[in-house]
Amino acid sequence: MSARKVKDNVEIYLSLLIGLVVMTFSFLIPDVFWSSANFQSIASQMPVLGVLALAMAITMLTGGINLSIIATMNACGLVMAWVATHYPPSVGSMALVLLAGLTMAIVIGSVNGFLIAVVRVSPILATLGIMTLLNGINILISRGSAISNFPDYILTINSTNLLGIPVPLLVFLAVVAVIWVILEKSAFGRTIYLIGSNEQATHYSGINTRKTIVWVYILSSMLCVVAALLMMSKLNSAKASYGESYLLVSILAAVLGGINPDGGFGKVFGMVMALILLQMLESGLNILGVSSYITMALWGGLLLAFIFLKGINLSRLFGR
């Protein structure tokens, strides 16, 4: 398929939808929607979901999926929480917290990657199994209760503003930038797209597809560490059952952002737009006093509408 053929106008539709949402809310609730409180609420909601959606998206680009992201986030969160609450705050213990989280992520990512790339279990099944296993281990080691009361160096992530911008949002933007560079500017990123388009052809052209897939799942798990840190900082606790509702929402956000679930196509930019759209909608409806269940249904409806729109051939519609 040529690049022209697969151009599916994701950015155009997302801009239209965002425009529609902004206009509707500006008309209905101009004072509240354009208030700094609203933007702060969006800024505090978006980072965790955003990072998780990216963790989902990079595996979807290879034609896979990672159902274990939430379990991974909680596993890394619990390990980091244990370290953080057992050692007095110092530069050394901060490093140890990060090291513990990253080690956990690399182990989990390697197991997922090994099952998918080497044993050739389908990604849905491999990550479903690992998800169940991790959920069990998380409950087992934490006895189902929360680890809380973290030292200041974790809590300040959530409470600090830099140049008037909340740090979690900056963290999210940094993650976006890193993933953008990896996907758009590196050979590794090229390989990810190639595997998603045609794994066999990529393999026969002499690229080590197994190694790439393993690294993709490790990268996905490492993003879960970032999500775990943001979550810990926001809630001041870690627990085996946090964020379960994010699993399907992160798939929804990735697909809405233009990631093709069969692999090969999708851009980071589209995903950021999708996340802004989802969070604006949630925040605006929340201000309007609309039930969060309606928001849940609307997100689902939005995804269907978006898929429907994407299927319409724009150029044919305008007779070009």
Residues binding another protein (CB under 8 A): 65, 67, 115, 119-122, 124-126, 128-137, 139-140, 143-144, 199-200, 203, 209, 244, 248, 251-252, 255, 261-262, 291, 293-301, 303-304, 307-308, 311
Output the smallest distance, CB 200 to another protein, in A. 5
**Shortest distance in whole angstroms from residue 1 CB to another protein:** 15
CB contact at 8 A, 142 and 239: yes
Q: How far is the CB of 33 from another protein (least distance, A)?
A: 22
Q: Which residue's structure tokens are 């199994």?
A: 129
CA quadruple 281, 286, 292, 295: dihedral, nearest 10: -20
Dihedral sign computed on CA atoms, order 261, 264, 266, 271: positive
In angstroms, the Cα distances linking 36 to 152, 260, 272, 282, 283 are 26, 35, 20, 16, 12
What number of CA atoms fall less than 13 Å from residue 204's CA on the CB side?
4
Residue of 56, 96, 54 whose CA lies nearest to 79: 96
| Start-end of H helices in the chain | 3-6, 10-28, 30-33, 36-61, 69-86, 91-113, 123-142, 152-159, 167-185, 187-197, 199-204, 209-235, 246-256, 268-287, 292-311, 314-317
Instruction: Between 81 and 167, name the residue whose CB sits nearer to another protein.
Output: 81
Two tokens at 26? 């500006």
Least CB distance from residue 42 to another protein, whole Å? Answer: 20
Q: How far is the CB of 299 from another protein (least distance, A)?
A: 6
> Is the CB of 27 or the CB of 308 nearer to another protein?
308
Indicate the residue among 43 and 195 with the shorter CB distance to another protein.
Answer: 195
Q: Which two tokens stand for residue 318?
A: 């305008």
Nearer CB in complex with another protein: 236/286? 286
Q: At closest approach, how far in Å is the CB of 164 from another protein?
A: 34
Cα radius of gyration (the chain): 20
The Cα–Cα gap between 196 and 4 comes to: 18
CB nearer to another protein: give 117 or 175.
Answer: 117
Q: Give 66 or 209: the residue with its C-beta nearer to another protein.
A: 209
Q: How far is the CB of 284 from another protein (least distance, A)?
A: 16
CB of 5 to another protein, least distance (A): 16
CA–CA distance, 64 with 160 (Å, rounded to integer): 36
**Nearer of residues 12 and 118 to another protein, judged by Cβ:** 118
Would you say 169 or 214 has its CB closer to another protein?
214
Dihedral-angle region of residue 66 (phi above 0 means left; psi in -120 to 50 means alpha; beta otherwise): beta
